[in-house]
Structure 1
């Protein structure tokens, strides 16, 4: 099988890590002759050289639509086209079997602030076009499948569920962060590694932290896209992202201090993330909406770090596979977040022991997930050509 993975853009956090791990694992599957990965020139793909070094993988940077004449050579000798990240993109019909992964329905379950009706309708229409025209759809959890049915109708009951909320951490990694990161963080801390999109719920987390009595002893370390902007004094900065001033204002109004209560690091390399999570007293995940679960939560539990987590359906689904004790909270309620922090640190030894005991819970591998995708691609291929015959 010759596979074209077409993804003009993708999330620069978990999405990029998923793309990298999944492509590598798919290339190892029996019967996969070649994978051509096409990404936009501005996609910020890391590890492109590593992927290109795999004998049956080639990475191509390309910016035109898939049906543009300039892209015709990319479709040559391709059996299946896999759209890795269709979100916000325009569907273009082609004469090949097609599979897309619909990673989440966050945009419809949690409408971002300041989005107006026409914008929401545009995104809904774009999504509907993908769901109605591709040969097959894959989703990352039963929760996402249920939400697709709720938003776009019963035809989405045919979506394939392929969970992939497993740890992207390499088997070997350093137990210590780099000197630069070590100099920027306290000895004891709680960590939240995430971009600052509104559904990631930094605002309620900061409000909850402000009500946590031991925040000086266990301050919050933030990593991820744009978190470093919170280091700038309010209001002497500008940001094209409307929610950043809100977060800065919340810190200002609640008395949270950078370098004492909150340590916003910004983007941190993949080399430092495992040690940052492993050495944290706890990881907190306050997100209001996710797709297949949370990579940071999975990583924390594989490293023996206790977890505080939003009590939302997708995280219950994800964490049902784990034995570790979780400090659940209502992500809409800052008092609930503060209470969960109090609960975890009051009974810290119990949570820590439970997390350590759960390190070896059974889990899937990337090869398991890649094998499931390749099986779906084969079914997609036969479904497409069966329709053309009959």
Structure 2
């Protein structure tokens, strides 16, 4: 029986984690194959929590060495021992996972985007000094990881033509990559019929995005301020509930954009934070419009799919990939 080992020390909240969890749930139903997961740190905690919520049973191996060494933004050094007893290693979020040439011979990787590399000139000025240093190390690490994967001809699954084009532009090659589109019968987000949305306006716009410059919140907020007739804007995702009090970094820039646009928190703009799926589903369903003015997306493609599946919502995208 072929045994596939999944290795991921990232598990980004939102689209990245959702991608792996939902796909693992489907993979486990394939007869004649077995799977397990290697992870550690906060990524492992998130996996355990979500797997339990989704009632997904998979053997998990804990590795705290790799995430500890990568805490400063350095790449995760995947130990060769993870290849033991495995027929195939799958890196579902390969960007920061550095493997040896020996391990590369039995590895397949998934890459959704190269946002940091492509848009670093727009991203870095909006970060505070501490975050900028970490992101600089992440960019260096991603560059090294992608260079190795491409040069060693590791099979790579890409979720968009745009990412393949970016690889050609940045590295002069796309290696052994193939497009695996996210089309198909995507499961709609669960919506709890008893969820109460007391306190929220009856009509509003929703922007599901983590607090990071490539999400382009400032452009959206600036545009909203220029509208003579506008709906309130609901910001959801990690870090959005802290935005009204943010004074530095990208959060501080967003806060300044709200003030400069003449908008008021909890009236014109709301920061709802990272919502559980049933609550997020209810908030999405009531929304008049889902807006993502992003510079580029990886796991952020999944809120788009969720919005498209919800007949009551409409999706808008600035990025040409979604035009």
Class of the TM-score when normalised by the shorter of the 2 chains: 0.7 to 0.9
Distance 2:250 2:174 in 1: 36
Counterpart pick for 2:206 among 167, 187, 191: 191
2:244 and 2:271 in contact (8 A); partners too: yes
2:284 and 2:313 in contact (8 A); partners too: no
CA shift at 1:127, angstroms?
Answer: 2.4
- Distance change (3 Å), C-alpha of 1:281 and 1:184: same
2:294 and 2:318 in contact (8 A); partners too: no
CA offsets, 1:336-358, max 9 Å, x none? xxxxxxxxxxxxxxxxxxxxxxx
Structure 2 match to 1:136: 155
Distance 2:264 2:78 in 1: 52
CA shift at 1:145, angstroms?
Answer: 1.3
Structure 2 match to 1:83: 91
CA shift at 1:308, angstroms?
Answer: 4.2
1:82 and 1:100 in contact (8 A); partners too: yes
The structure number with the bigger radius of gyration is: 1
1:294 and 1:315 in contact (8 A); partners too: no
- Distance change (3 Å), C-alpha of 1:166 and 1:187: farther
Distance 1:197 1:167 in 2: 30
Distance 2:65 2:153 in 1: 19
> Map of 1:1-390 to 2, 5 A cutoff?
1-32=2-33, 34-43=34-43, 44-45=46-47, 46-49=49-52, 53-54=56-57, 57-65=58-66, 68=79, 72=81, 74-95=82-103, 96-111=105-120, 112-114=123-125, 119=137, 120-133=139-152, 135-156=154-175, 158-164=176-182, 169-170=187-188, 173-175=191-193, 178-179=195-196, 182-215=197-230, 218-232=231-245, 237-238=246-247, 242-291=249-298, 294-316=301-323
1:6 and 1:39 in contact (8 A); partners too: yes
2:188 and 2:306 in contact (8 A); partners too: no
CA shift at 1:103, angstroms?
Answer: 1.3
**What are structure 1's unaligned runs of at least 5 residues?**
317-390
2:6 and 2:92 in contact (8 A); partners too: yes
CA shift at 1:106, angstroms?
Answer: 0.8
2:167 and 2:174 in contact (8 A); partners too: no
2:190 and 2:277 in contact (8 A); partners too: no
CA shift at 1:50, angstroms?
Answer: 5.3
1:102 and 1:137 in contact (8 A); partners too: yes
CA shift at 1:52, angstroms?
Answer: 7.1
Distance 2:256 2:78 in 1: 46
CA shift at 1:149, angstroms?
Answer: 1.6
How many pairs align?
298
2:232 and 2:268 in contact (8 A); partners too: yes
CA offsets, 1:249-302, max 9 Å, x none? 111122110121011111111121111111111111111111377222221221
Structure 2 match to 1:327: none
1:283 and 1:305 in contact (8 A); partners too: no
Q: TM-score, normalised by structure 2?
A: 0.83
1:4 and 1:80 in contact (8 A); partners too: yes
CA offsets, 1:226-252, max 9 Å, x none? 1112233xxxx555xx21100111111
CA offsets, 1:194-245, max 9 Å, x none? 1111010000000001011222xx211111111112233xxxx555xx2110
Q: Secondary structure at the match of 1:298?
A: helix
Distance 1:297 1:22 in 2: 17
CA RMSD of aligned residues (A): 2.6
Q: Secondary structure at the match of 1:38?
A: strand
